Amino acid sequence: MNEQIAGLAPECVWRIFAAICNIPHSSGEEGSLREYLRHTAEQAGLHCRADEAGNLMIEKPASLGWSGCRTVILQSHLDMVPQVVAGYDFNFSVDAIPAAIKDGWVVSENTTLGADNGIGVALAMAALLADDFNHVPIKAIFTVEEEIGLHGAFSLPREWVSYPHMMINLDSENLDQLFVGCAGGIRANFSFVPAWEPPPPGHFTLKISLTGLLGGHSGSDIHLPRGNAIKLLARFFKEAEALAPRISSVNGGSRDNAIPREASAVCIVPGAKRDALLKLAADYETALKAEFGANEPNIKFAAATHPAVKKTFSADFQQRLLEAVNDCRHGVVDMSTNIPGLVGTSTNLAVINTAPDEIVICTSQRSENDTRRKQLTTSLTAHFERYGAVTHIGSEYPGWEPQPDSHLVRVFQEAAVKILGKELEIAAIHAGLECGVIGALNRNLEMVSFGPTMENVHAPGERVNIESVRKCWQILRHVLENA
C-alpha cells in the first residue's frame, strides 16, 4: 500500500483508496475488490449481501436516537476504465496503480487512476466504518460493470432500493456542483445489404479520408460546434456526384458514445475525371476549414491513390446509402426544460462500417425525457427503413428527470454553505448515470450525484484533488447527520 497516500487527510478515506489502488478492478474483474470491501465491513460487524451479478450491499444501522430517520443509500461503482500510455509496461489484471502525490493532487501519470469511481467507493466505506459522528441509517450499494453499460445497476434486486428514501451517487467530478438529473439513452443500429457491381475498365482507385476532427463525448460535447466525420464525408460524395465516383467501402467512427473524428471511403472514378475529383477534394478541405474555423483547427481532407478493388456499390444502392446518411439527423434536437443551458435531447450518428455483405450504421439517442427519446428513435428508425435498412435496438437505459427542489438538495446546500461558504451549482448531465437505472426501480427515491474534483477521467494522467476530497467528506458527514 502507498503509505503517503494512505496518510492523507481524511485518513479514513485515503487509506481505503490506497488499498483500492492495490487491487485490480477493471470492468469484469471486480471480484477481489468486492471481497476486500465485504471482509472489511464484516470485520466491523456490518451486514453484507451480494447478488448474482456481483453487486454488493452493506448496511449500517442508525446511531442511537437516529433510528426513526429516513435511510440514505450511498452508491458507487466498483470498476474502472483501464487505459495506459503506449509503451508503458503495465497489466491492469495484476499490477497496483502507480499513484503518486503531485501539486495537491493524487495522480497516475502513465495509467488511469481509477478515482472514477474508487474515491466514491472509499467515501462510502469511510462513512460505513466511521464511529465519530451520529448519522441516519446508511445502506451502501457498490455496483459492477458500470463503465461498459451500467450492467450492475440493471441487475440490482428491486428490494435493495425499495424502501430507502434518498440516494447519494458518489460518481461526480466537480466539488462545486450537485447533479440532480441525467439523460437516458438508447443505441439504434441500422444495417444495409449492399448491391455490388464489378468496376468497369479505365477507372482509377482512390481513398478519400477525413481526419483531424476533435470529436468528443456524444453526451457532454454534442452541443459544441464540431464536425461529424461521417456526415461530412457523405456530403463530399453528394457534391462529387457529377464526377461519378463509385464507392467500394466506407468506414468511420469507433464508438457509439463518441462523435466520429475520422472517416474514409475507397472509391473508383473514371480516368478522365480523376484530376477533377482530386481538385474537388482539395477545395473541400479549404471549404471545411472556412466553415469550422477555430472550432476544428486540425481538419485534413485528402484523396490518395489506392490498390484496385474488385467490386463497388451499385449506383442505386450508393445513392440510397448516401441519402440516408446525408439526411440523417445528428446533434441537438431540443434543450432541457428543467436546467437552463443543458441539452435536453440529442442524437449521434456515430459509426459506419463496411463488412463483406453488410453496411452497419450505429447511432445513439439521449434525452432527459424518456418519451422524447423514444420518439426520436422511432423517427430515426422510420428514416433508415425508408432507405431499406434493418433496425437493431439495444442498450437502452432510462433518464433521471431533475428534482432541483428536493429535501436532499436542500440538506446538501446547507452543508455546502457551512463548509464551502457558498451553495453548490445545481446541474444535470446529458449522459447516462446509474441514477437513471436505479431511480426506475423506486420512483419515490430522492437522488443527487456528488463527488470531489477530478480531471482527465478515463485517460492516463487521471487525477483527484486532495483538498476537494477533504471537503467532500465533510459535506457528506453533515448530510448523513441531518438528512
Residue 6: left if φ>0, alpha if ψ -120 to 50, beta else—which one? Answer: alpha
Contact predicate 328/383, CB 8 Å: yes
Find cell 459522528 and name the residue. Answer: 133
The answer to whether 454 touches 114, Cβ cutoff 8 Å, is no
Residue of 79, 116, 368, 462 marked catalytic: 79
Mind giving me the DSSP string for 323-380? HHHHTS--EEEEE-SSSTT-EEEEEEEEEEEEETTEEEEEEEEEESSHHHHHHHHHHH
For residue 274, the one-letter residue type is R
Can 291 be counted among the known catalytic residues?
no
How many whole angstroms separate alpha carbon 361 and alpha carbon 228? 14
Told to judge if 283 belongs to the known catalytic residues of this protein, a careful annotator would answer no
- From the number of C-beta atoms within 10 Å of its C-beta (0-12, 13-18, 19+), residue 267 rates as buried
Catalytic residue among 30, 146, 370, 446: 146
**Looking at this protein, which amino acid is placed at residue 45?**
G
DSSP single-letter state for residue 70: P
Q: How many CB atoms lie within 10 A of CB 274?
A: 19
Segment (H or E) for 27 = none
Residues catalogued as catalytic: 79, 146
